Structure 1
């Protein structure tokens, strides 16, 4: 053993050999611990990234969950009579049945138990001639009597707490009094009524084909209260329909701008009635095939889109859009597939979204969403024909009645109908837009707003901002890194490299603040100077170098070796001053005193103060240190024997740089570029503060943009947790995550290939 120990540690005694063994073991233990710690740290990073990915996916997946219905009750129809109106109140607990005799009965949605009854005051000897559901969102409907009287009724449902506990108390209210409004219309074929706080508008189709429009005004007193209705305007329209056509249905829009007339030939004729004395006619637009007729027509929530069902199984969405000549036309936008082969027998509209439910004569029910052009669910719920359906205001419960007196109640699960791959990434034709487009507009001041959730403008803005940032940063950073690592003296490099790297410590919120409040106005006021600077600097720097070689040797030798590049600092400062000094004279001489106005008037290019040029400069300044540092290390790490051997074989420094140094350093330089690209893609504060945050798809350098990260920062605080908007912001984060993952993966793949290719140099 002693010989063996001496063989291992010659010249050491026993105690020294023991101490040396312990030292080796301790070093081995520390090495193992460091290896384990690094491994745990690396695995922890991978686990953290995977957890982030899975959390984002967990929040996003409900967006693509299919709609479903669960039957919760079934019972015999407690009324047993046809209904002019079947509706469900806000809490989905009480249903309202309006009968043809003016009786209004309320029953429990889940049990069918009668909850009460009201009666519409119809004068003796009169009967209901026509019914109109004026405003389903507010529960307002109208009854035209055969003697020409009009009764406007509003459903009232109140939650009360008393000795019986919590209960919903239902009753009727009469906004214009219980006495019928004398219209003098007499017999009518179709009726539509619109009410507002100040007026009431009636459109009635008469048997002889004319349409009578009457607007009543209600005077309001100084201290509240309402006065009597008085006729304010009246007009008669004639559509000059062919003799074999007749009017089947009238629809006024809530804003009282349009009157849609549906004929028995399946045509929609629209008239602009903003001025009753000068109506403008649009159409006709055909919505039914040969021999088919209109079954039902409703307004989607918001009162802009018209939904028409026809006997040949078509469900068509239409709305007015502006023509190129500033006129209007009625546009057929979408057609939806019917629930089944049979005719659509019932239709109901969601009160808070652009969704609707249709049922047919074979017992099938389908749920649709208009904006995303989707049929979300299609199920057979009854064996026989469906007579009527009523959707709760929150679209979470559906009441279905059959013609044989059966009632079925379903809980509806349909949280995010607005989302589909086509609505997120394709063009969508939104209401009142002249054509399909990519639009992101998540909220508005009114509940009638149609959400626009296209991620294309945000993704485009992200790539646009990164492109202009890299266009500015990449040449400066890479060329600066090559010069610093290969040509610059060690003394000057020790100053330049830390100075540029310390720029990365500057908070991006400071850069965004300076870009938005200082740089953007400066560029707008001195735009010619900015472009002169871009043109003059590349010419001035080589010219300065050439002139320096013509200086006397006595002057050139006074500059210490390696410090000649520092002489360019005053040159750059002077050229910058000269360019901006010439800005105003050039702008006055060539651009009429204002280059932004000249671009707009002469070139048709809109100039926004906070635009891609500002973002490119500011974000490029933030990305330069990252690219410069990694690229400079890659060039500087090229083994000196390679470049020295190339020089010894007679190559010039430039030939050595291009053919030896750069190929060897190319994996690291490519990684620098891709890491800088990932940094630009994920940047938030600069694009948030230095752009107009307008989600538009315009590659112009004078237009702004909105990026995915900036959109998350702006809208996440105001989004409702669990809503479609909330989950779409997480989807934006997931898309950003995948962008970054793609760029980093691409960088690693290319880096490995370049490394294998040039490893033999």
Structure 2
């Protein structure tokens, strides 16, 4: 064999058919991977954008302005006023198909609301020489009114509508019902000038002003269980005079207060008890009162005056624990006098027609003018709003016009969501969430502040527990722990993340909360004993003889802390009893409530902080540990080689380099805590209160959505408000994550050159 043959290097051919096929396959895989990653990333972005716009789509109707147009939307629906006489009362039934008109001549007319065609007409059988001298409405929702007669008697009438279905077609049959009998009830000795009435269960009360004298008639309906007959017990009494002739009388639904509008913008309040007396004389306006009505539920008084001022008043306890008629809010209004005013039957809404013919729609809770629309050139004679608040009947001169009203969500506004609101029955303005109640005249309270506060409170206490434990644990595991032990500890902690949060919430609510209440002093003793025990053990172990210390392999020292923590916990709980008896009277929660004035709720923020912190720790730990472990070893080796200690290397080299990852871990943990649902749902009292107290509960945005969304009516204000809560949660997460990414990029740029 020649020398040339032995030194020949074999040539490598990278252009063989096999190599070309390999490169083509590799390029195809790279393109497919790149395309898949791009499609996945774009899909995630599109999904987030679609969620954003869907939430916005559901929320947008909340802030849409109200509108009014002729019924049918084409041309004005107008017709001659049916019946004879001056209108005392105008109403529209539930489906807005039938209108009702009561006149001063006793003419009761039911008519088609769109055409004015008379469907049914009745003439009240009044005695000869007796006229209708006054009118009083019990409430818009009750459809019940009273007519005061010139002979001092009263008739109570209700317009009612029965639905029948002949041949499968719905037909409404209007009728007049007499709740207290068809015969007039004697009430006064002369013509009734002003009249008011109210009903509380089976008890009726009627108050009339006649010849300067106030007289009250009380009726109690008692049904005989054996015969079914209804017996009416009557009693009457004379009330104290007000001193000034009133222009209108109103009575509260509980028959506790009589309110009278007086000349010169004043209102007199009389307490109707065993000893009736005038308790207040309030100046409510600088001008004459032109409108004087009770809002839905009868708790609030709505007053309009000749200068165009519109205000709301209700009773509030003062410093002496006495009820005082208090000014709550004024509504934005023009200068034209309020000539007509009516209220909604199912919401706290107010509808006015001014002397210049301008229609205004208000919501008392939201303090919002939803619509201001000129309908006529002068004042109207009467207005009536349908029970569903979607139809408006207006008498203007000798014509009736019928309008369609679109005002779906008047009870909300920016101030109702994010500012304090003075609700009926409250002593002062407050942040309150209460979306439902058992009565029909309930005032919904949609303040999002308690929910946002509860969300941040739960996340704060969870992060307060999780952050130091997770980060310190990750630092020790990634930097100081031996690899053999790290391979056991890290998967075990990450496995904690697989535990369903519903299980954590279940354990927190049914076991941890009662345990903490029974051992509250022991918890705080343990918080002192465990750190002291760890420090003492560390000091003792560090000063042990080398032959004892070297019995344990290097890096396994942390395993010795497990029995130390267990023993310290046992000692802390054992010391709790004597400490609690010596310092807290035997029961720390009771001592906190009675002596310190700090309320204690069994399911509180402390329970949530521990349970939710337990759920957040694995997330923060895993990302932080990976970030620290991923710091290039040559950086730490170089630092150690230059004489730095392990601790100096950690604080000045490793942690700054890993800071972007650590910050990302904190933000992801924060997002997890903010969006957590089941733990806060099961481990708190779900009370939407604003209290930083760690021993009080809270309600978060996510938990509130989970609790109330199944019960909300689709398309209702409550339903859309829950979507607004989700939108707020989405924006909060988006803003926090965007800010976190900006800070993370800044940290990466700052420490990336190490």
Pairing 1:385–2:402 present: no
Deviation at 1:49, TM superposition (A): 1.0
What TM-score results when the alignment is normalised by the length of structure 1?
Answer: 0.95
1:321 aligns with 2:316: yes
**Partner SS state of residue 587, structure 1:** helix
Q: Aligned-pair distance for 1:124? A: 2.4
1:189 touches 1:248 (CA, 8 Å); kept in 2? no
In the alignment, what sits opposite 2:22?
23
Per-residue deviation, 1:80: 6.2
Aligned to 2:738: 745
Instruction: Say if 2:299 is the partner of 1:304.
Output: yes
Per mean C-alpha deviation after superposition, the further-off stretch among 620-629 and 323-332 is 323-332
Aligned residue pairs: how many?
A: 741
- After superposition, give the CA deviation of every residue in 1:185-244 in whole Å (9 maximum; x if it has no partner): 423432111234522212223443x432232223321246444533335242234x4xxx
C-alpha separation in 1, matches of 2:277 and 2:620: 63
Partner of 1:659: 652
Q: Match of 1:238, SS?
A: coil
**What SS does the corresponding residue of 1:743 show, helix, strand or coil?**
helix
In structure 2, the partner of 1:211 is: 214
Residue by residue, what CA displacement relative to the aligned partner does 1:369-388 show, whole Å, maximum 9, x if unpaired? Answer: 11100111011112333111
Q: Deviations over 1:648-680 (max 9, x none)?
A: 111111111111111111111011001100000
SS of residue in 2 equivalent to 1:665: helix
Matches within 5 A, 1:515-534: 515-534=508-527
State which drifts further: 621-630 or 309-318.
Answer: 309-318
1:12 deviates by: 4.3
User: Greater CA deviation, 148-157 or 668-677?
Assistant: 148-157
Match of 2:284 among 282, 287, 292: 287
Encode CA deviations 1:553-578: one digit per residue, 9 max, x unaligned: 22211111211110000000011111
Write out aligned runs for 1:546-557 (5 A): 546-557=539-550
1:76-155 alignment to 2 at 5 Å?
A: 76-79=80-83, 81-155=85-159
Deviates more, 1:160-169 or 1:191-200: 160-169
State the SS of the aligned residue for 2:190. coil
Match of 2:179 among 175, 178, 189: 175
**Cα–Cα, structure 1 residues 387 and 511, in superposed 2: closer, same or farther, change >3 Å?**
same
Where does residue 495 of structure 2 map in the other structure? 502
Q: Once the two structures are superposed, what CA deviation does each residue of 1:46-83 show, in whole Å capped at 9, x if it has no partner?
A: 11111111111111111111100111212233346420
Q: Does 1:617 align with 2:610?
A: yes
8 A contact 1:349–1:357 mirrored in 2: yes
**Alpha-carbon contact 1:189-1:247 (below 8 Å) kept:** no
Give the structure 2 partner of residue 331 of structure 1.
326
- Output aligned runs, 1:267-278, within 5 Å: 267-273=266-272, 275=273, 277-278=274-275
Question: CA 1:547 to 1:387, structure 2 compared with 1: closer, same or farther past 3 Å?
Answer: same
Give 3-state SS (helix, strand or coil) of 1:395's partner: coil
Structure 2: how far apart are the matches of 1:13 and 1:132? 107
- Is residue 708 of structure 1 aligned with residue 701 of structure 2? yes
Unaligned segments of structure 2, at least 5 residues: 1-8, 72-76
* Aligned counterparts, 1:241-640, within 5 A: 241=243, 245-273=244-272, 275=273, 277-279=274-276, 281-289=278-286, 292-338=287-333, 340-403=334-397, 405-640=398-633
Residue of 668, 686, 692 corresponding to 1:693: 686
Secondary structure class of the residue paired with 1:86: strand
**Unaligned 5+ runs, structure 1:** 1-8
The range that moved more, 140-149 or 176-185, is 176-185
The separation in 2 between residues aligned to 1:146 and 1:229, in whole angstroms, is 24
Equivalent of 1:231 in 231, 234, 257: 234
- Aligned-residue offset at 1:324: 3.8
Q: Distance in 2 between matches of 1:185 and 1:534?
A: 80
Separation (CA, whole Å) in 2 of partners of 1:133 and 1:68: 28
Cα deviation for residue 261 of structure 1 reads 1.8
Superposition pairs for residues 30-45 of structure 1, below 5 Å? Answer: 30-45=29-44
- Contact in 2 for aligned 1:322/1:432 (Cα 8 Å): no
Task: Give me the whole-angstrom Cα distance separating, in 2, the residues matched to 1:165 and 1:34.
Answer: 64
Moved more, 423-432 or 325-334: 325-334
2:6 aligns with none
Which is worse superposed, 729-738 or 219-228? 219-228
Deviation larger for 183-192 or 417-426:
183-192
Q: Which moved more, 1:136-145 or 1:350-359?
A: 136-145
The 2-side partners of 1:687 and 1:740 are apart by 18
Structure 2 equivalent of residue 6 of structure 1: none
Deviations 1:271-322, CA, capped at 9 Å, x for gaps: 332x2x2346443222221xx2221211111111111111221111111112
1:582 is paired with a residue whose SS is helix
Matches of 1:347 and 1:662, distance apart in 2 = 69
Match of residue 724, structure 1, among 704, 717, 724 = 717
Compute the RMSD of aligned alpha carbons: 1.7
Instruction: Name the CA distance, whole Å, in 1 between partners of 2:168 and 2:115.
Output: 18
SS in 2 for 1:386: coil
Cα distance per residue 1:708-734 (max 9 Å; x no partner): 010011111111111111111111111
Given that residues 439 and 454 in structure 1 are in contact (C-alpha distance below 8 angstroms), is that contact kept between their aligned partners in structure 2? yes
Moved more, 481-490 or 151-160: 151-160
